[in-house]
Amino acid sequence: MKNLNPLFLTLALNTTAITTQAAESTIPQQKQVSGYYQYQAGDVQITALLDGTNFMSPKLFQNLPEKEIHDILKKYAADQAKGVQTSVNAFLVNTSHSLVLVDSGAATCFGTHLGSVLSNLKASGHKPEQVDTILLTHLHPDHVCGISQNGIANFPNAMVYVSNDEANYWLNPKQASKLPKDKQAGYLGTVEKIKQAIAPYQAKQRFKTYQLGDQVQGFKVMNTAGHTPGHFSYALKTKDETVVFIGDIVHSHTVQFDKPETAIDYDIDPKKAVQTRLKQFKDYAKNGQTIAAPHLPFPGIGHIYSADDQRYQWIPIHFKD
Ligand SMILES: [Zn+2]
């Protein structure tokens, strides 16, 4: 009680008043609108769905001097303090015969900054029960976890598809022992998340695999292995336009477009992942397919340009109302 002299009280009150005034003069950050964007391709409507934003350490990029990485990030005005910004996107495709979800976001597998695909799908005016097909590019948790929550299917009427090679890599119990010792714990942690996500679909015979040469709901399956052993992309032709849902053949619209020969630590076979990217990028730059990508800036739809087949440029679509 000794501190309760008039001078102390005056000082204390003044400090409070100053703090309050400073807080009031700061403009509070507004929440963004819901993360969905409609894109019309021929007869098909694509709704890009934002799962959230991730920040990656620049150290994840392989065999590129740190100075060069920072120079590229600076060129793109990328926020280097937090890391390399990358979106996590999924795509809902209305083909008029079928409502297809390509990838599904991370749900709760990676923390609260991700996991908005389901709420953004609802905000876009669709109902989860209307989705009849789910195409997974691969089984990493930021692509598969969004199909269910706490053991219950988010899309109860959907058939889930992934490549035979991918299912075999993650779901064959013999696989873990084939990996180097230091990779086994990480692998088994991922397997656990995958198993939980697909369990409610497997229980109802709604989990299927395909192989090269197959078609699912008019989507051509394309082997783009490297990032994972059974990684596939999906091509959909509609009128004069072909849209390719590329999956994780690229993780950065900055470093991996300026230096496409740069692998990222997430790649299971970095050498093959680079070969795949170089081959696919060359084709897309030459033939002008529309690209829908889970880790390019939301909505992740655009085109790939190259003047020399060495370096590439991401050309995002422009907002259309
Ligand atoms: Zn991945």
Task: Provide the token pair at 40.
Answer: 């019309």
Model pLDDT, residue 42: 95
Sorted by where each starts, the structural domains of the chain and their CATH numbers stand as 35-316 (3.60.15.10)
**Residues 305-319, mean pLDDT to the nearest whole number:** 96
Averaged pLDDT of the chain: 92
pLDDT of 11 over the 80 cut: no
Percent of all residues in the chain with a pLDDT value above 90, rounded to a whole number: 83
Model pLDDT, residue 43: 96
**Cβ neighbours for 98, distance < 8 A, ≥ 6 positions apart:** 132, 133, 217, 218
pLDDT tens readout for residues 107-146: 999 989 999 999 999 999 999 999 999 999 999 999 999 9
Model pLDDT, residue 33: 86
Strand 290-292, strand 301-305: pairing: antiparallel
pLDDT of 23 over the 60 cut: no
Task: Look at residues 47, 31, 46, 45 and name the one whose alpha carbon lies nearest to residue 123.
Answer: 47
CA of 29 to the centre of ligand 1 (A): 31
Q: Which of 23-37, 162-176, 296-310 has the lowest mean pLDDT?
A: 23-37
Task: Provide the token pair at 85.
Answer: 């910004």
Task: Provide the token pair at 93.
Answer: 């495709």
CA of 199 to the centre of ligand 1 (A): 20
Higher pLDDT, 293 or 6: 293
Residues 235, 302: Cα–Cα separation, whole Å: 14
Residues 176, 165: Cα–Cα separation, whole Å: 15
Task: Provide the token pair at 316.
Answer: 């995002």
CA of 7 to the centre of ligand 1 (A): 62
pLDDT tens readout for residues 234-293: 999 999 999 999 999 999 999 999 999 999 999 999 999 999 999 999 999 999 999 999
CA of 231 to the centre of ligand 1 (A): 9
CA of 230 to the centre of ligand 1 (A): 11
Task: Look at residues 107, 218, 110, 102 and name the one whose alpha carbon lies nearest to residue 160.
Answer: 102
Model pLDDT, residue 6: 44
CA of 14 to the centre of ligand 1 (A): 54
Model pLDDT, residue 85: 85
Model pLDDT, residue 203: 98
Model pLDDT, residue 26: 85
In sequence order, what DSSP letters do the residues of 190-213 get, joined into one string? HHHHHHHHHHHHHTTT-EEEE-TT
Model pLDDT, residue 281: 98
Which pLDDT band holds residue 24 (cuts at 50, 70, 90)? low
Peptide bond into 299 cis (omega under 30): yes
User: Hey, which residues does 316 pair with through a beta bridge?
Assistant: 302
pLDDT of 20 over the 50 cut: no
CA of 95 to the centre of ligand 1 (A): 26
pLDDT tens readout for residues 46-57: 999 999 999 888
Three-state DSSP class for residue 53: strand
Three-state DSSP class for residue 61: strand
Residue type present at position 106: A
Task: Look at residues 154, 158, 137, 136 and name the one whose alpha carbon lies nearest to residue 146.
Answer: 154
CA of 143 to the centre of ligand 1 (A): 7
Q: Which of 71-75, 224-228, 241-245 has the lowest mean pLDDT?
A: 71-75
Query: What's the chain's Rg over C-alpha atoms?
Result: 23
